Amino acid sequence: MERIEKLLGIKEETYARHVFTALCISFIVALGAVLYRNPGSWMDEQSHYYRAIQISNGDVYKNDNGNMALFGGMVSENQQSFMDYFIKNGPNHTFGLYPLSEVGKLQYSEKNRFQAATNAVPYHPLVYFPYVLIALLNKILHLTPATEFIFMRLSGLIFAFFVLILSIRIIPFSKWTIAALSLHPTILLTNSAISADVFTNVSIIFFVACLTKVTYKVAKLKSFQKLDAIQLGISIILVSLAKVPAFLIIISVFPMLYFANKEKLTSRFINIFLLFTLFFSILCSLLLIVLIKDVNTGAYFGRNVNTFKQLSHIFSNIFKFISMYLREIFSYDYTVIQLGYAEEVTYQKPPILVSIMYYVAYGLSWLYQEKEYRVTKIDIKKFNLIQIGKIFSFFAIILSTFLILYLQFSLVGSDIIEGVQQRYFIAYSLLLLTFIPNIVKLKRPFLHGIVVVTYLPLVTYIIYFFIQIF
């Protein structure tokens, strides 16, 4: 247990045990999903699978004879046949040991054909690197598509948990909050699938961990270390590459930098380095927007969407749009926990009561801290004031996500915003939960109750999982 405490940066045995147990359980369940959830059983997995292969073939922004709705690249005929089998059979083949299936016997092939993956193209190619590495390796090993698929999923899962453990080690407090987030079935199942969201989610978690670490140091009037600046700088760049709305998270950096400079806690080198990374991250986001501006994901799904016409509609009906926009944001059900595709709609999400209980426990997770962080000698008011930037960035991301989906996915003139999914916002919730409670005494049964309730959606998913297998 001592080694685990050291690995996670935790001093209390019970606290370390809870965090480590959560990580172990989430990894084991995710590993089961890697092996038993058939290809395409998670959102857009087929597109992300094709995209990783296309990037490994050097097809970064290739389209089909100038058709802006069909961006993608080359994949082998057998890779396409492998995935098509599960997509065409749909709900009837959601679970099973797919490597042992008939389609699992398909062999490696170098005969390629074009495959569209338009909805995956807007992501930066870097987010696919765990999967691309396997695809590149397979050019040497010549594995079957089924075996290659397993290793792709495993590479993403291992990468996700490496970053999760690193983030827990870096963040000084709220370690249980990150562990509780790893138990969220949507996060867990994302980690087990081939998805760009794996990189996005762990980049956000890593960023919050690094920012919280330096913010705590500033509140304690401790000087920046070069390692702190490097970690934060890397996290800023990674999160800016993850997803277009995600770069707005860097708003939360500026209050910390202001107070750090006011108290003279940073060196000239650190200031220049962090300002450079901030500038570079913004530049990366803008460059990505320019590169993908012609990618028509709406048309790919057969939808009559046009960003410029939608903008014209907004400005022509500005008050009507604002009313609709705010209604959609405030009426949206953020509590749904997505479990991916299943043979019955019943099994695609836990009961609403289970979801609500989880979010209550997760929302209270910040109360469960190691003893030294329950009451600190720092100026809590100043510390929380610095952290207000996190709250602003959280709401900025929500606002921008709804706006982007209205511009790029909703029908022109639509009075609703289409395409919004709960999974888009889960990782950002850490921005609201990395605060110090400053409460001297909290009864142990209450804290343990928070821990127990956090497991409820995962238990529900496991029950659903076995029901569908057997």
Q: 119-171, pLDDT tens digit by residue?
A: 888 888 999 999 999 999 999 999 999 999 999 999 999 999 999 999 999 99
Confidence tier at 274 by pLDDT (50, 70, 90): confident
Say if residues 443 and 430 touch (Cβ distance below 8 Å): no
Residue 435 has pLDDT above 80, yes or no: no
CB atoms within 10 A of CB 254: 13
CB atoms within 10 A of CB 400: 15
Instruction: List, for residues 45-72, the tens digit of each pLDDT value.
Output: 999 999 999 999 998 888 777 776 778 8
Q: Out of 210-214, 276-280, 377-381, 400-404, pick the least confident.
A: 377-381
Measured CA to CA in angstroms, residue 445 lies from 36, 174, 442, 449, 450 at distances of: 36, 19, 9, 6, 9
Record the pTM.
0.93
Q: Where are the domains of the chain?
A: 2-469
DSSP structure string for 194-218 = --HHHHHHHHHHHHHHHHHHHHHHH
Say if residues 38 and 96 touch (Cβ distance below 8 Å): yes
Q: Out of 249-253, 361-365, 414-418, pick the least confident.
A: 249-253
Distance CA 337, CA 89 (A): 25
* Number of residues that this document lists for the chain: 470
If you search the block for the tokens 């961006």, which residue do you land on? Answer: 71
* Predicted pLDDT of residue 240: 87
* Predicted pLDDT of residue 336: 93
DSSP structure string for 293-358 = TT--HHHHTT----HHHHHHHHHHTHHHHHHHHHHHHHH--TT-------SSGGGGS--HHHHHHH
